[in-house]
Amino acid sequence: MAIINLIEQKRDGGELTTEQIEWFVRAYTAGDVPDYQAAALMMAIYLRGMNRREIVDLTLAMARSGEQLDLHEVAPFIVDKHSSGGVGDKTTLVVQPMVAACGVPVGKMSGRGLGSSGGTLDKMESFPGWSPDLTLEQFKRQLADIGLVLAGQTGDLAPADGKLYALRDVTGTVASTPLIAASIMSKKLASGADAIVLDVKMGQGAFMPTVEMARELARIMVDIGQDAGRQTVALITDMNQPLGHAVGNALEVKEALDTLTGGGPADFWGHCLDVAGYMLLLAGKAGTVEEAKALATAARDDGRALDKFRALVHAQGGDPSTVDHPERLPQARLVEPVHAGRDGFLAGINARAIGWSCVRLGAGRQVKEDTIDYGVGMIIPVKVGDHLAAGDLLGTIHANDPARLAQARREFLEALTWSDEPVAPLPHLYEIVE
Ligand code: URA
């Protein structure tokens, strides 16, 4: 088979056969297709789309590109969650330890930053020494020992996604329903969870700008999960403004730690409870979502969730004492407050613009080889609907370079829109796809 034929076929609006999709995934994973041709195919798929059969074929081929875990020898029932990507989305850092603390093992394969959205693995690597690179044996042992694992798409698990994800990040091919569905569900199927809660973000800062598009992505992923025998639920949630206050790796870790110790922004905590509630419900720990949320809250309040987080840091090579001393996490040298220049109601905080601005500060990658600057980012404590007076604090920029700080400050102010009339706060949860 010749890759050029697949590229041209898709470019011209044709369908790829099952055999072609399986061949491409195998050949690219093995290094037999170069990045520039894979990128051309990703762009053709981005522009032309895929039908349902092609999406399922791509997902299964990617899931089978490495090992597929059967975790039942170490835990009878495993749950997992995955977000379609957002700005300030540090949900896993709170939800995973809370659910594990309720006695439900969570074996999770996460990703790195993608486009303007941050990645859980980049955030966790703010802990010096912490590594997501686990062998299958280590994955299983850790799940049995402490009930939670946070691994990357390394060699053995869905390696095709590992390569394609990094390529899409820097080739403008992220926001594509088939590519996102295959990327997320291939990881979920390969890592062997029995139940999966999908957090499908919609809005300006998400890859799906409307509820309709988010619903379509959610429906495809839920169907793929159910067909593979996994209980799967998707929550469609808001990403029209950053989630919580912090955007940037170590800043988000600190906010997650705050939230695990009873503080943290209200919108973020509410979101964590929704996701944890559905994970515990699918695991049969509670009869209703409200009961499940009460279990999660109790695990936070009595410190069990924080203990689990410490165990996660320790098990994967980080220093667990940093959890109790977040000031030891990387910090930016320059921290500058930004104040409102006018009175009014905040009508919009463009999450996508904020996400890209943080990438330019160094919190994400603009080319594959970029290294992450863990301490940089923004803290934005205001929310859409807030009434502010001139001089009120809008946020702080954390930077390591004066020129980048000045640019981020400009971009932050440009990302805000104002109204003289009251503005309703944004909803958090739009709908649930089961
Ligand atoms: N998360 C993923 O794992 N993959 C995507 O393509 C988008 C979000």
CA distance 2 to 119: 34
The strand order across the sheet containing 387-388 reads 387-388, 344-349, 416-419
> Which 8-state DSSP code applies to residue 131?
-
Q: At what angle do helices 177-190 and 35-48 cross, to 10 degrees?
A: 120
153 pLDDT higher than 90? no
What is the chain's mean pLDDT, rounded? 95
pLDDT-derived band at 110 (thresholds 50, 70, 90) equals confident
Examine the residue annotation and report whether 321 is marked as an active-site residue of this protein: no
pLDDT at 152: 82
Cα-to-centroid distance, 201 and ligand 1 (Å): 11
Q: Which among 429, 80, 24, 51 has a CA at the least distance from the CA of 228?
A: 80
Does ligand 1 have an atom closer than 6 angstroms to the CB of 244?
Answer: no
**Residue type present at position 303:** G
As beta bridge partners, residue 387 has 345
Examine the residue annotation and report whether 72 is marked as an active-site residue of this protein: no
Examine the residue annotation and report whether 81 is marked as an active-site residue of this protein: no
272 pLDDT higher than 90? yes
pLDDT tens profile 371-404: 899 999 999 999 999 999 999 999 999 999 999 9
The whole-number average pLDDT for the span 262-285 is 97
Q: Exactly one of 176, 183, 186, 357 is catalytic; which is it? A: 183
367 pLDDT higher than 80? no
Domains in the chain, please, with CATH? 3-49 (1.20.970.10), 79-326 (3.40.1030.10), 331-419 (3.90.1170.30)
pLDDT at 143: 94
Examine the residue annotation and report whether 187 is marked as an active-site residue of this protein: yes
CA distance 94 to 182: 25
Q: Exactly one of 168, 188, 230, 271 is catalytic; which is it? A: 168
Examine the residue annotation and report whether 183 is marked as an active-site residue of this protein: yes
- What is the enclosing helix (H) or strand (E) of 246? strand 246-247
pLDDT at 385: 98
Q: Which atom of ligand 1 is nearest to the CA of 85?
A: 8
pLDDT-derived band at 154 (thresholds 50, 70, 90) equals low
As beta bridge partners, residue 191 has none
To test the pocket of ligand 1, the residue of 110, 165, 202 to mutate (highest count of ligand atoms within 8 Å of its CB) is 165
**Residue type present at position 188:** K
pLDDT at 331: 97
pLDDT tens profile 280-295: 999 999 999 999 999 9
CB 63 within 8 A of CB 158: yes
Report which of residues 136 and 132 the model is more confident about: 132
Does ligand 1 have an atom closer than 6 angstroms to the CB of 29?
Answer: no
Q: Which atom of ligand 1 is nearest to the CA of 174?
A: 6
pLDDT-derived band at 324 (thresholds 50, 70, 90) equals very high
114 Rama class: left (phi>0) / alpha (psi -120 to 50) / beta: beta
pLDDT tens profile 57-89: 999 999 999 988 888 889 899 999 999 989 999
Q: Around Cβ 75, how many Cβ atoms within 10 Å?
A: 18
What percentage of the chain carries pLDDT values higher than 90?
85
53 pLDDT higher than 70? yes
Task: State the pairing for strand pair 344-349/387-388.
Answer: antiparallel
CA distance 346 to 351: 13
Q: How far is CA 374 from CA 96, 165, 205, in A?
A: 22, 20, 21
Cα-to-centroid distance, 27 and ligand 1 (Å): 21
